[in-house]
Structure 1
Amino acid sequence: MTNSITIVGGGVAGLTAAIACAERGLAVTLHEAHRTLGGRARSTPGPYVANDGTHVLYSDGEPFRWLAERGLVQPFARPSAGELAKFRFRRDGRVRVAPPLALLRAVAHRRLSAPVDEPFGDWATRRFGPAATRAAAGLVGVITYTADPGRLSAAFVWERLLRATAPGWPAVRYVRGGWSAMVDRMAAHARSLGARIATGERVDALPDGPVIVATGLDAARALLGDASLRWPSGRAALLDLGLRADRRDPFVVSDLDEGGFVERYSRPDPSLAPAGHTLVQAELPAAADEPVPAVTARLEALVDVALPGWRERVTWRRDAFANGRTGAVDLPGFSWRDRPAIDRGEGVWLVGDSVAAPGMLAEVAINSALLAAVKLSPSTAAKASTARD
């Protein structure tokens, strides 16, 4: 019998699980295969500090509140009135100040529920018309990493659309210093609670005793020997740019034409770029089987429209392609409850951004880890260890 728990994976899900389990009185050991913690929450070391993707947190979600209660996201920045005044939209190939009126009318129906079993494109076109549906799909492209959100479950897309367009002061929050700063605080907090965190330790066989697997589904399939651990995800081109600053640049350009996004992350957090420079992170979902060079060229064309003259101002650049590592997307007929279960039985739990937990993107990883931890205590861990022996 034991009151210990082993965690495999040191990303946001694994670190959340480590903290939550340690708070419940468990002896925690976390193994991370890489030399650095964070998984997809890592940031570049500088002088341009770029997250691995266009990361933000939403303060209206329980994961943000859980992190904030422990001082793990502080200090953070929120969009100022001046930054919001520089929010732009690409529509019909041009950068505009406002989204189409049809989209504003659609998202005003905030009490409306969307069906799980119907594609968003069909449902939204019937309810709001084609113009609003196209704009809505473009707006959530960056959230879903999907070139055609219209094919996804209407309930899935509608929930994300309402979160992104919530009235009042925006809920978006930026962790100052990049997400690696948050990861460092999470690791330090877990260690202060007694957790042992080891990096550079790859786990190739499922450990004895109760274990939380906090990896992507590809690694989890191999570790658990379960070929059913699959779920659709997105694919997108990512482009990070260090530029000489130009005060005429917009803060954000949301691409309603193709679902892309261009954002000056150093505007709310100047520490992300050297003085006189700016950090831009851009994303564009790739169509099914679209070659990487083709979607990268489309993304560069979006940046051409958003930031004219950017090519002459580049001092640093990083290209990446996210394929199947962007969190779960739900097709018609499926919801988050249908994704791979967290409790795998016999003292094994699976957490991450593609499992059966609610929320958007990283929120799924945090929520799944908290759901796993709430099932654990010294007594339940001991029973799980007995079941595995």
Structure 2
Amino acid sequence: MGNRITIIGGGFAGLTAAITAAEAGAQVVVHEAHHTLGGRARTTVTGQFRTNEGPHALYNGGPHWAWLKQRRLLGPMAAVPPLEGARFRFRHGDALRRIPPLAMLKLLRRAPEQAPVDMDFLGWATGEVGEEGARAAAHYAAVALFHHDPGGLSARFVHERLRRSTKLPPEAHYPRGGWSSVIDRMAAHAWDLGVRVETGSRVAELPEDGPVIVATSLDAARRILDDDSLCWDSGRTALLDLGLRTRRGDAFIVSDLDAPGWVERFTAQDRSLAPRGEQLIQAQVPLAPDEPRAAAIGRAEHLLDLGFPAWRERVTWRREALAAGRTGAVDAPGTTWRDRPAVDRGDGVYLAGDQVAAPGVLSEVSFTSGLEAATLALRWVGVRGLRVA
């Protein structure tokens, strides 16, 4: 048996799998349908603005941080500005406030293990701290969920993400220059290891030789594998990107506690994302299944009215988008990550991505599943000497 491993998809999960397999001595080829690598971790360059596909951060408490750092793939990172000077604001009672409700802060003392898997978050949190604090916490957690109804999801699932996103000092860090800077380093490392990367290479069916890792969206994997069971709930989110002329006093973050929504000034921590004298604002507002994008954009604009005075007169660039089914898995009451589509599909076929059965928050799911898929594929071809840390 040869030691060739095929990977379909050149995003964060696919590149993680490719590097892991190549480091163990396997021959690896990556097929990426687009002309650039990265998947959801692409950074788009428009004029002098560099934007990720929605707000992106990399948590330093996750397993991917140590893995990337050990391989010198992490690169320069920007930390969250000091909270006392960063103008972190909360919309609560349709007014801008400096601190969230006390009941929400009280809920943060609960360990993730205290939240039940089989109960919805809003019901559990209401019993713990009352409805006001529970709703505020659910809406805040939407930044790590991209979902229109965080309170209706599994209490354990939401509370873990709430705790991670509010941890002090903050876990969230930002790759300087955008997420593509990390992807570019990963791609260069894969190339140095002998990985063959073919961009603009759309794969419609599985190759006949060797194991294959399908590191695509779950929708694409369902088509490639012709497997209708590959389904899991995800979010649907409106994205609004703005270039604004700089003005003193603008907020760093406006978190909507009255409804799910988030606005962030990314140039507060990385000036390279916008031209001199301008700043980059990115907003994400989750949408209900049948809700029009315009409704969410209207809510984002209301948050901008609160946190960015006279923003309409300062706009130099604007872009709107809709992210549907591309925002990671969400777990309903009674389910955990173990209930999602399994990484091992049998007969040498493996899944990787942010909606499969792997633990973690946001990009950590893609990383963990990519690592697991590569480990299983290496076992399939009989390669030993796997380096996993």
| Shift in Å, 1:111 | 6.3
Matched, 1:348 2:354: no
- Equivalent residue number for residue 386 of structure 2: none
- Equivalent residue number for residue 30 of structure 1: 30
Distance 1:148 1:272 in 2: 31
**Structure 1 runs (4+) greater than 3 angstroms displaced:** 82-85
- Equivalent residue number for residue 366 of structure 1: 367
- Equivalent residue number for residue 105 of structure 2: 104
> Which residue identity does 1:95 align to in structure 2?
L
Distance 1:278 1:359 in 2: 31
Distance 1:129 1:48 in 2: 43
- Equivalent residue number for residue 18 of structure 1: 18
SS in 2 for 1:198: strand
- Equivalent residue number for residue 40 of structure 1: 40
1:1-389 equivalences under 5 Å are: 1-46=1-46, 47-81=48-82, 85-110=86-111, 112-166=113-167, 168-208=168-208, 209-377=210-378, 380-381=380-381
Distance 1:200 1:372 in 2: 23
TM-score, L = length of structure 2: 0.95
Distance 1:322 1:164 in 2: 21
Distance 1:165 1:308 in 2: 26
Q: 1:111-154: CA deviations, max 9, x gaps? A: 65211111111111112210110110111112111121111011
| Shift in Å, 1:287 | 2.2
Distance 2:237 2:307 in 1: 18
> Structure 2, unaligned stretches of length 5 or more?
384-389
| Shift in Å, 1:164 | 1.1
SS in 1 for 2:291: coil
Q: 1:260-297: CA deviations, max 9, x gaps? A: 11111111110001111100111111123111122222
Distance 2:354 2:166 in 1: 22
Change (3 A) 1:83 1:270: farther
Q: 1:61-106: CA deviations, max 9, x gaps? A: 1112211211222111102326754111111111111111111111
Change (3 A) 1:35 1:298: same
Distance 1:111 1:248 in 2: 36
- Equivalent residue number for residue 386 of structure 1: none
Distance 2:357 2:340 in 1: 5
Change (3 A) 1:170 1:84: farther
Distance 1:169 1:139 in 2: 17
Q: 1:180-237: CA deviations, max 9, x gaps? A: 1111111001111110011011111111220000011111111111000000000111
TM-score, L = length of structure 1: 0.95
Alpha-carbon RMSD: 1.4
